[in-house]
Structure 1
Amino acid sequence: MAEYDYIEGKKRIDEILDNKLEVIEKDELPNDSDFTFKNSYFSWVTSIFVDIRDSSILFSDQDKPKVSKIIRSFSSEVIEILRKNDSLREIGIRGDCIYGIYTTELKSKIYDIFEMSMYINTFMKMLNKLLTKKSLPTIKVGIGLSTSKELVVKAGRKDTGINSKVWIGEAVTKASNLSSLGNKTGYKPIVLSNNTYINIIDQFIEKCGDNSKSWFDQSTHNEYGIIYDANLILTEFNDWIEKNI
């Protein structure tokens, strides 16, 4: 490998540590163009993670074309659902998981992200019906959502083009962890942090009626505190699936 110039490295670290870093507290997280190596933002964020259950079994299947078709079908449409929102600040794939991170300074924006979880949960019915018709294995996912104020920092190596935002707080890490619970060990597919739940429940009841609150199960997790899980589908979408697939 090329030798690491530790003398120049020491100079770069000193420059970073000596620079005055501006932490900007702002309800709405700005677009990438506003981030520099001399600032960071503290803003309201909601994150959604969609994690395939038992992916190691699927990935170990020797029929590689079959596995490729399943993963591409899944990722194509989950990304399509997640990307159609003006509040989107990052979208990506981590192994067997697809995620979206959004600026959500308003309750209505948090509800929009929650609604995506219902679209994805209903989409999984459509996908599995189509997989079954092709004699392919079906899959399950866990869908995790979390909301919090997050410190967001542009990190990487200045002047190299190698950089990314680092999300410091509960919104991203907890959504990822909650997605690993969904559709497993007694939890329903959609798992919400307490903060997400308290910000969406009033609007959900307004849309679906007083009884709809009972569609969520509350529990206390040793690591993640109070959480809510549910198996929610969109009626119009589901009816179309039943009639057309």
Structure 2
Amino acid sequence: MKRFPNNDNFTYENGYKAWLSAIFIDLRNSTKLFTENSEVDVAKVIRGFTSEVIEILQKDTQDNELKEIGIRGDCVFAVYSTASKEEIYDIYQRAVYINTYLKMLNKLLDKRNLPNIKAGIGLAADKNLAVKAGRKSSGINDFVWIGKAVTTASNLADLGNKEGICPIVMSGTFYTNYIDVEKNENSKNWWRKNHDNQNGAYYHGNIVRTEFDEWIESGMID
């Protein structure tokens, strides 16, 4: 199957296998953030982080493209049905926008004497099996993604923005599809390649949207 169907097509008896991409945005040092600042200040920071990130992840998506979006503790995530390299590239663009937005958010937090935040942004793509799990008539159900993409994106987000790893971290498969679409001749120089036993080859970089970043650096004046 090239693409996952609409969510209404899933039952407790069937399952579908297709290409999907996952993105996880995982806060760094959240324990320190939560324990060393006032509850009101933390609430303001978390609301600013989650609401705008979710907006970026949802914007201009079709019903059968965005399969799941949610918050797990201090992490925002989304899962997309990506039937083409161009759609995988779109997920990359969302990651870059989020990475740039976090720079703006920290500038605004500085002005209000609120704590800054950092996040790792993990990206992965692969062919996965999706099944609906839960109990009939209970109203409690969710998708279970059986395969590498979601787990790998979560793992890579945990690596991002610490111990010398840049904020955006993508799996080897995601990179291979993304780079085929990227038109900038210097794009391969944006990324550093690493490898570990858990995630295999992965690429990390600190890419931002140029015009957005310049506006932030100029003082965010219209």
Counterpart among 76, 100, 110 of residue 88 in structure 2? 110
Structure 2 counterpart of 1:126: 104
> In proportion to residue count, which structure has more helix?
1
Residue by residue, what CA displacement relative to the aligned partner does 1:120-178 show, whole Å, maximum 9, x if unpaired?
00001100000001111111000000001111010000111111111111110110010
**Which residue of structure 2 lines up, in the alignment, with residue 220 of structure 1?**
195
Aligned to 2:159, the other structure's residue is in SS state: coil
Task: Write out aligned runs for 1:109-188 (5 A).
Answer: 109-188=87-166
- Counterpart of 1:214 in 2: which secondary structure? helix
Query: How many angstroms apart in 1 are the aligned matches of 2:105 and 2:154?
Result: 22
- Which residue among 51, 64, 68 is the counterpart of 2:39? 64
Give a deviation string over 1:22-74, Cα, whole Å, max 9, x none: xxxx1101121000011001110000000000001111135110000000000
Amino acid across the alignment from 2:174: T
Structure 2 counterpart of 1:54, one-letter code: N
Report what 2:48 is aligned to.
73
- Contact 1:43–1:150 under 8 Å retained in 2: yes
Check conservation: 1:35, 1:154, Cα contact below 8 A.
Answer: yes
Give yes or no for the alignment of 1:37 onto 2:15: no
Q: Helix, strand or coil: the match of 1:180? A: helix
Task: Provide the alpha-carbon RMSD of the alignment.
Answer: 0.9
Q: Among 198, 207, 210, which residue is 1:235 paired with? A: 210
For the Cα contact (< 8 Å) 1:52–1:140, is it kept in 2?
A: yes
Number of matched pairs: 217
Q: Which residue of 2 aligns with 1:52?
A: 27
Partners of 1:130 and 1:95 in 2: how far apart? 23
* Structure 1 runs not aligned, ≥5 long: 1-25
Contact 2:85 2:180 in 1 (8 A): no
Shift of 1:112: 0.2
State the TM-score, normalized to the length of structure 2. Answer: 0.95
CA–CA distance in structure 2, aligned partners of residues 186 and 80 of structure 1: 29
TM-score normalised per structure 1:
0.87
Q: Structure 2 counterpart of 1:55, which letter? A: S
Question: Whole-Å Cα distance in 1 between the matches of residues 6 and 104 of structure 2?
Answer: 34
1:175-205 deviation digits (Å, cap 9, x = unpaired)? 001000000111000000000000011222x
**Structure with larger Rg:** 1
- Which letter does structure 1 place at the counterpart of 2:23? I
- On the 8 A contact 2:121/2:157 being kept in 1, the answer is yes
Distance 1:192 1:125 in 2: 20
Contact kept? 1:61, 1:67, Cα under 8 Å: no
Q: Tell which has more relative contact order, 1 or 2 (C-alpha 8 A, sep 6+).
A: 2
Mapped to 1, the partners of 2:214 and 2:86 lie a distance apart of 26
Q: 1:96 matched to which residue of 2?
A: 74
Unaligned 5+ segments in structure 2 are none
1:12 equivalent in structure 2:
none
